[in-house]
Amino acid sequence: MGNPAIDTLRAKAFNLSEIDRAELAHDLLASLDGTPDSGAAQAWETEILRRLDQVDNGTARLIDREGLRRRMRTRMAGT
């Protein structure tokens, strides 16, 4: 019913190993993201290091697992 080319690719993809299918899926999804922001990786690296420094020097505000769960439930409930 669909595009014959897509049907053929899908059939071939389903014959790949799980690892190869995962790699293909990753590559296909990544191709939909558009051009990556050239500074994003460096910005994230900087932010991660900043947060690790806060944890190391005791200035970070940490919460336990149950606190995280409560916050996530609240956000997911939209309140």
What would you report as the CA-atom Rg of the chain, rounded to the nearest whole angstrom? 21
Give domain limits for the chain. Answer: 1-34, 40-77
pLDDT in tens, 60-75: 999 999 999 999 999 9
pTM for the structure as a whole: 0.47
pLDDT in tens, 24-53: 999 999 889 888 788 998 999 999 999 999
SS3 7: helix
Residues 66 and 72 sit within 8 Å (Cβ to Cβ): no
